[in-house]
A = this chain, B = another copy of it.
Amino acid sequence: MDITMLTQIDHAKNGTVTPEMQYVAKKEGMDENTVLSRVAEGSLVIMVRDGCPPTAIGKGASTKINVNLGTSAASINPASELQKAAIAEKYGADTITDLSMGGSISRIRKSIFENTTLPITTVPIYQAIVEKGLKTVTEDDIISYLRLQVEEGVSSVVLHCVDKKMLETVKGSGRVMGMVSKGGSFTSVFMLTNDCDNPYLNNFEEVLDILREKDVVLSLGNTMRSGCIHDPRDPAQLMEMQTNANLANLANKAGVQVIIEGMGGHVAASAIPEFVELYKSTSPHPLFVAGPLPTDVALGYDHIAGAVGASMATGAGADYLCYITPSEHLALPTPDQVREGLVAFKIAAHIGDSIKYGISEKDRLLAERRASFDWEGQMELAFDSDRPRDICPMVGPCSMCGEYCAIQIMGEYLEGKE
């Protein structure tokens, strides 16, 4: 076997610490051998991209955030998508998923590649559907578009491995919101139109070969997720959770790294921790959640409801968060809404990590600078230092208290100087 063909998981199984493992070990404050053994067991994934820094997602790594962007059939503005990619990079996204379905999809993807160093994920069936038709696309088309996007250099692809049994189970289940996964719906429509099995599962060995060759991470999509908190965990979801865990093991054995998309969408707050724990007890693979939203009524503010759900999910063990913007359920986000959603999820990941790993020294440093009225030093530690700078002029007395500052008037006594 050609050494250049080995994936991170192959190297890990062989006991070889790769430069990528060294890089993420340093970045995450982990031991190299811990990284190696976790990559080998599939609990830690390293997303690689030619010429760009690798990104670790999973056990022991800080919680990562994905930013979705891309055109839709109803809204095509490639320049705006590039702006979103720039904002994602500026405000600390870890990965970008290009979900473009409008305009020249390949050209848009290419320009996003050229304008960011973050790993890029795609859902290949989107482009297949747009360019070949929802009812006319073939299995060959679906596999060809997967191959095309892998060859272009994506770091990860989302494949929805929904099967006939899941579709039978969810049919007539009385869910309020039915099926809300777009990629899952496309895959399902293909199966129903052609009365066939899942195109990826029908060709699973070939799919794994394609991914293996470029060490592309397989992200197992979440077709059966709930679309509202009144649609609770149901048999279709549990079936998909188990199927994805089995597929992940097969992929890992074939040298393909795997992330499991799960739970996301809409989940009642009280059900979030146990649901995450159920996933983690079913599979060691990194768990990727969208939100989740613990309420459906936060219209226009779903980034805030999502940040609450994501903090809870992260605290319970989720590894990787798909951000939600204020325009969720309403429209494609503007670049500024991408920023709002991303920063909300940076906060959620940070809070969740404080539960997973203990509170951060960054918080202590900020408090020390706050106590000493070091405004500029505080700004340096903010996730988005532009916004506090806009709010606070940092000249003269603070407009909150003016001369009546509690910290100031009690400071000397508390330090024992009085």
**Taking CB as reference atom, which chain B residue is nearest A332?**
B399
> A60 interface residue, CB < 8 Å from B?
no
> A96 interface residue, CB < 8 Å from B?
no
**A interface, how many residues as a size bin?**
35 or more
Stretch from A41-49, A208-216, A351-359 forming part of the interface with B:
A351-359
Contact present for A72 and B299 (CB under 8 Å):
no
Task: Specify which chain B residues have a CB less than 8 angstroms from the CB of A406 in the assembled complex.
Answer: 179-182, 184-185
List A residues 228-270 near B (Cβ within 8 Å): 228-231, 266, 268-270
Contact present for A347 and B185 (CB under 8 Å):
no
Contact present for B404 and A350 (CB under 8 Å):
no
> A202 interface residue, CB < 8 Å from B?
no
Q: Which of A's residues lie within 8 Å of B, judged by CB?
A: 72-75, 101-102, 129-130, 134, 167, 170-173, 175-182, 184-186, 188-189, 192, 227-231, 266, 268-270, 294-301, 303-305, 307-308, 311-312, 315, 326-327, 329-332, 337, 343-344, 347-348, 350-352, 354-355, 359-360, 362-364, 366-368, 370-371, 378-379, 381-385, 387-388, 390-393, 396-404, 406-407, 409-411, 413-416, 418
Interface residue from B182, B371, B402, B409 paired with A101 (Cβ < 8 Å): B402
How many angstroms between the C-alpha atoms of A295 and B384 in the bound complex?
15
**Taking CB as reference atom, which chain B residue is nearest A348?**
B308
Task: Specify which chain B residues have a CB less than 8 angstroms from the CB of A189 in the assembled complex.
Answer: 409-410
Contact present for A186 and B404 (CB under 8 Å):
yes
Contact present for B308 and A401 (CB under 8 Å):
no
How many angstroms between the C-alpha atoms of A150 and B403 in the bound complex?
26
Contact present for B268 and A359 (CB under 8 Å):
yes
Not counting A72-B400, A72-B401, A298-B350, a sample of 13 additional A-B residue pairs whose C-beta atoms are within 8 angstroms of each other reads A171-B416, A172-B415, A178-B411, A230-B359, A269-B355, A295-B347, A295-B363, A299-B383, A301-B383, A307-B307, A331-B398, A331-B400, A332-B399
Contact present for A391 and B327 (CB under 8 Å):
yes
Contact present for A402 and B297 (CB under 8 Å):
no
Task: Specify which chain B residues have a CB less than 8 angstroms from the CB of A176 in the assembled complex.
Answer: 364, 367-368, 371
**Taking CB as reference atom, which chain B residue is nearest A182?**
B406
Interface residue from B332, B379, B399, B415 paired with A74 (Cβ < 8 Å): B399
Q: Using A184-B406, A228-B370, A413-B192 as known contacts, say yes or no to A75 and B350 having CB atoms under 8 A apart.
A: no
